[in-house]
Structure 1
Amino acid sequence: MSAPGFTGGRLDRADRLRHDPDALAAATDWRARLLVLGPGYEPQVGDDGRLGWTSIADAPEDAELVLLGLADDRAHFAAITGESGGAPFRSPRLLAALGLMAEGEAATWGAARSVLDWHARHRFCGNCGTGTAPFRAGWGRKCPNCATEHFPRVDPVVIMIAEHDGRALLGRQAAWPQGRYSALAGFLEPGESIEEAVAREIGEEAGVRVRDVRYVASQPWPFPAQLMIACVAQAEDDAITLDRHELEDAIWVPRDEVRAVLAGEPGAFVAPPPYAIAHTLLTRWAA
């Protein structure tokens, strides 16, 4: 089965260079490449499904750079832009580009998008309020006043289906495309295990009690920087009580119908896109 979207990146993240300014400077030579990004961090994707790169010489003279990694001993960077951090807008053009990317390309773009957005959100020290500056090849920011070091954060999210009598519980939000149903999801809270978060979220959103939570797969999600933790849980019953603040609807779908929808046949729901781990989760459950 295919790996979850936004995984399988081919760049060597080269952590050794993050701690060695001289080696990093040496790697930032004429061969170094710069990721081409448009407004909103939108990627440029060629007909071959590969990301667009240009020479590091095309970076603005005062640009702050993030080392994405090495490929064939050539350094690959992204430039920290003046964009402000905020709720990411996924334009139709971006969604189309995600569907065109060759294997591993979305992982590289997703890492760049997440860390650049983090820089936009963390220009000031959370401890004293002083403006911060990038260090460690762009994988951190440091306060010149109190010396506090800040690093990109990743927010864990559980995404899961409950199963009961050969059926999967799927839900939909009102803002989604017509007919789209997907796995339920929610952020882990402090002091909570993955298993506890799965049970709480399914109970809160659909009123279904579950047990026997099992892990399936994980995926980085760059909107802006989550780690999606996919699980399946066994439902104790199939009675649904919706939280209308979270879901517009929830349904139980038999395994055969999930298989049919994933195969492109019409059914009771429209499947999540292949780059979403909900698609991976349903595929593996159906199999």
Structure 2
Amino acid sequence: MKDAETVVFGGGGLDRAAELRGDGAGLGELAAQRDSRWIALWRGKPMVEGPAEAPRLSRLPAGHPVLADAREAPLFLGRSDKGGLWAADISPWEPPADIDIESVGAFLDASEQRHPAGPDGARFAELRAAMTRLTPFEAELAATAKALLGWHETHGFCARCGTPTRIVQAGWQRDCPSCGGHHFPRTDPVVIMLITRGEKVLLGRSPVWPEGMYSLLAGFVEPGETVEAAVRREVWEEAGVRVGRVGYLASQPWPFPASLMLGCRGEALTGEITLDPVELEAALWVGRERLAAAFQGRDPVIRPARKGAIARFLLDRWLAGTLD
């Protein structure tokens, strides 16, 4: 696809400066630069500021009071043309008791939390809600920070011997002091597929999704499996549809919590749908006219995948006839 890297979280141009991760002196010099900045995340939600229709990622200077709530040393994300960029996890901060945090971590988390020391108007917002309104660079930066911090949160112990590990390489590695094991940030490959049969596309909905939401079928790639085989297996297991030719379209880092979505297209060889009720609550073949109506909010059954997700990205281009 000619515009494959315009998908949200892709193509932001972040210079990850991997050569500096093991260079303590070089990182110290970079951190001391006047325009180096830190982004803060609370329970996986980045701090943003500005109007709701055009938020921007908050970038805090060294020593900002918000950063005092960080649980660990900040993680090095890379650099911009102005200076270095780090991520700080301030999840130990406790919001005031009168702030409703019941929806924090929910599939659709609309809550926002404001740190008393944050910049004017700054708040912690769910990344899925803000992702389409951030610049490509900010979206990539926020996704990288969220995925990296999420990995550290769940991988504090050695998978070999169970010993607590220590952070090295500026946050891009954990080492075990007991057995010498090295551990690296995890990314799980997931196939997400636009399956067509003639002029119709296959949509499904998971039982745990918001009411009426339909999207493309997706599933994890298993060990020893090619991307093409994963596409065919997942569609057969979930919907009972056989798939023939498979091709790659685009990819999207998806830090919820740590996936790489591999967008593919596939041609269905059969049309009858047989659901796996554990995976899917419903599935149906949808023509272009109906999909267009769903995108406009005019379909009584279908609520399409949210803007910013690769499913919506691929469906938009299928509808416009610009997949190739």
| Same fold, TM-score > 0.5, yes or no | yes
Contiguous gaps of at least 5 residues in structure 1: none
Once the two structures are superposed, the pairs formed by residues 237-256 of structure 1 within 5 Å of their partners are 237-256=270-289
Any conservation in 1 of the 2:39–2:57 contact (CA below 8 Å)? yes
Instruction: Quote how far apart the aligned CAs of 1:30 are.
Output: 5.0
Once the two structures are superposed, the pairs formed by residues 1-287 of structure 1 within 5 Å of their partners are 3-29=6-32, 31=34, 32-47=36-51, 48-58=54-64, 59-60=67-68, 63-81=72-90, 89-90=106-107, 91-93=109-111, 94=126, 95-262=128-295, 264-267=296-299, 268-286=301-319, 287=321
Report the AA paired with residue 63 of structure 2.
A
Any conservation in 2 of the 1:30–1:57 contact (CA below 8 Å)? no
Distance in structure 1 (CA, Å) of the matches to 2:183 and 2:76? 17
Distance in structure 1 (CA, Å) of the matches to 2:162 and 2:91? 19
TM-score by length of 2: 0.81
Identical aligned residues as a percent: 42
What do residues 196-255 of structure 1 show as CA deviations (whole Å, max 9, x unaligned)? 000000000000001101111100000111000111111112100001001010010012
Instruction: Quote how far apart the aligned CAs of 1:258 are.
Output: 2.3
Aligned to 2:101: none
Instruction: Quote how far apart the aligned CAs of 1:73 are.
Output: 4.2
Instruction: Quote how far apart the aligned CAs of 1:99 are.
Output: 4.1
Distance 1:80 1:96, change over 3 A: closer
Bigger mean CA offset, 108-117 vs 252-261: 252-261
TM-score by length of 1: 0.91
Bigger mean CA offset, 194-203 vs 52-61: 52-61
Structure 2 counterpart SS, 1:56: coil
Distance in structure 1 (CA, Å) of the matches to 2:210 and 2:91? 32
Bigger mean CA offset, 243-252 vs 265-274: 265-274
Report the AA paired with residue 266 of structure 1.
R
Distance 1:66 1:89, change over 3 A: farther
Report the AA paired with residue 163 of structure 2.
T
Any conservation in 2 of the 1:10–1:71 contact (CA below 8 Å)? no
Any conservation in 1 of the 2:71–2:89 contact (CA below 8 Å)? no
CA-atom RMSD in angstroms: 2.1
Distance in structure 1 (CA, Å) of the matches to 2:71 and 2:243? 54
Distance in structure 2 (CA, Å) of the matches to 1:62 and 1:216? 40
Instruction: Quote how far apart the aligned CAs of 1:265 are.
Output: 5.0
Distance in structure 2 (CA, Å) of the matches to 1:131 and 1:79? 21
Structure 1 counterpart SS, 2:25: helix
Structure 1 counterpart SS, 2:76: strand
Structure 1 counterpart SS, 2:74: strand
Structure 1 counterpart SS, 2:131: helix
Report the AA paired with residue 35 of structure 1.
I
Distance 1:213 1:62, change over 3 A: closer
Q: How many residues align?
A: 283
Instruction: Quote how far apart the aligned CAs of 1:62 are.
Output: 7.6
Distance 1:148 1:81, change over 3 A: farther
